[in-house]
Amino acid sequence: MAPQTQLLPGTLDLLILRAVSLGPLHGYGILLRIGQISGNALLIEQGALYPGLFRLVRQGLLKASWGTSENNRRAKFYELTVAGRKRLREETENWNRFAAAVGAALAAEPEEA
């Protein structure tokens, strides 16, 4: 098993939005999807997902509806709203800028400083 990294604060919401952007998912499905797309590199407490989900619903970025899962169980499915899609785009750009800046800063050699 690959070593897992703690999430940076604030990144869970972004990951949820990203996971759901590929199609409606229920809570457990979102966890699996994040694991899948991140190569299981991120450690997410299962329960911690739900406050994030409810927060995003409250902000109008996600909408939820009850349906039936692939396991034939009742589950609540989340999908992106228009606002959610827009937010995902913005946050992704932000993150990329941030990551690039931090990366550049860390890669800088002493004499260049």
Contacting residues toward another protein, per CB under 8 A: 26-29, 45-48, 50-55, 57-60, 63, 69, 71, 73-76, 81, 83
Nearer to another protein, 3 or 47 (CB): 47
Q: How far is the CB of 87 from another protein (least distance, A)?
A: 11
Closest alpha carbon to 44 in 54, 36, 34: 34
Least Cβ distance, residue 64 to another protein (angstroms): 9
Calculate the CA dihedral of residues 92, 97, 102, 104 and round it to 10 degrees. 130
DSSP 8-state assignment for residue 3: P
**Shortest distance (Å) from residue 96 CB to another protein:** 26
Q: CB nearer to another protein: give 36 or 96.
A: 36
Minimum Å gap between C-beta 98 and another protein is: 24
Nearer CB in complex with another protein: 67/103: 67
